[in-house]
Amino acid sequence: MTAAQAADLLEVIEDRHQRRATILTSQLPVDTWHDNLGEPTIANAICDRILHTAHRIELRGESMRKPPPPEPTDQPGDQP
């Protein structure tokens, strides 16, 4: 995330912090957010505001986006 994008995200979060509910989704684990938010001061502020009062739901398991297995193809000589 660029510094400008992180600053924009911080602005949105600050406007909503302790006033409105905010739902965030991420494919990144929470423990990597700080590194991916870029500038450390802004990353600290974002993480503090989001994680302080958050209700977290972490999904584990196989991805639902995995393509289905290929259909079996009939081989010559196969009997129905």
Contact 12, 23 (CB under 8 A): no
Phi first, then psi: give them for residue 26, nearest 5 degrees: -150, 145
> Contact, 26 vs 61, CB < 8 A?
no
pLDDT at position 11 is: 92
Tens-digit pLDDT profile for residues 17-71: 888 888 888 888 888 888 888 888 888 888 888 888 888 888 888 877 777 778 8
- Give residue 76's pLDDT: 62
CA distance 48 to 13: 10
Specify whether the CB–CB gap between 38 and 6 falls below 8 A: yes
Instruction: Delimit the domains of the chain by residue range.
Output: 3-52
Give the residue, 16 or 80, on which the prediction is more confident: 16
